[in-house]
Structure 1
Amino acid sequence: MYTLLLSTTNTMENAKKIAKTLVDERLAACVNIVPYIKSFYVWEGKTVEDDEILLVIKTTAEAKEKVIKRVKELHTYQVPEVIAIDFNSGLPEYLQWLSESVKKDGN
């Protein structure tokens, strides 16, 4: 089982820090940074419009909770968006690489 996590942040610096840390610590096989999205959301009772950066994080289901914890530690938002989508199919060679790229629990 594999997991795709989505998270947004407001600066490229924070996006790169999160992406590099997750890959360097082998919690994620790959993190894509989508440099510009326009977000509308309700925060503290008001509709907010922000320019944000989207992180697309690919990892294993086994590492999902560690990735979520690490994103929370590195993120600049009080309540960061972290949405997890579990999946179990895709190009077999890619999924094998993904599994091999993420550190196994305890290693």
Structure 2
Amino acid sequence: MSGYLQVLTATPTREDATRLAGSAVAAGLAAGAQVVGPVVSVYWHAGEYGEGEEWQVLLKTTEARYADLEAHLRERHPWDNPELGAVPITHGAAGYFEWLDRATAER
């Protein structure tokens, strides 16, 4: 059993979020993804305060697939410097982790 991650990013539109989620899952880089939104984001960017609506994408993957998933998302993301982060999934059902392993196994 390897380590498991929930990877997150945000996009300006639902369509962008769905496209990123779908392409990552179709490529086997993520076992599944959820698109959440719109959400209100409050942030500092380029030295300025900002607020806006975004769509979150939450992707489930393994540590072994993270680098490829990050490269995939960077290549296809509409923003030049997108939010990309990962948090470990430290506990879960054995069947869930088995599914993550199967769905993200290199093809």
TM-score for both structures, normalised by structure 1:
0.93
* 1:83 corresponds to which of 78, 82, 85: 85
Residues 39-78 of structure 1: matches in 2 within 5 Å? Answer: 39-78=41-80
Runs of 4+ residues over 6 Å off in structure 1: none
Q: Deviations over 1:7-56 (max 9, x none)?
A: 00111111111011001101100010002110011111110101000000
Residue identity opposite 2:88 in structure 1 = D
CA shift, 1:89, in A, is 2.4
Is residue 24 from structure 1 mapped to residue 54 from structure 2 by the alignment?
no
Overall identity of the aligned pairs, in %:
28
Gaps of 5+ in 2: none
Matched pairs, number: 105
What is the rounded CA distance, in whole Å, between the counterparts of 1:39 and 1:54 in structure 2?
10
What is the rounded CA distance, in whole Å, between the counterparts of 1:96 and 1:65 in structure 2?
20
Residue identity opposite 2:93 in structure 1 = L
* 2:4 corresponds to which of 2, 5, 18: 2
What is the rounded CA distance, in whole Å, between the counterparts of 1:32 and 1:84 in structure 2?
14
For 1:11, the equivalent position in structure 2 comes to 13
For 1:93, the equivalent position in structure 2 comes to 95
Residue identity opposite 1:20 in structure 2 = G
What is the rounded CA distance, in whole Å, between the counterparts of 1:43 and 1:35 in structure 2?
21
TM-score for both structures, normalised by structure 2:
0.93
CA shift, 1:88, in A, is 3.7
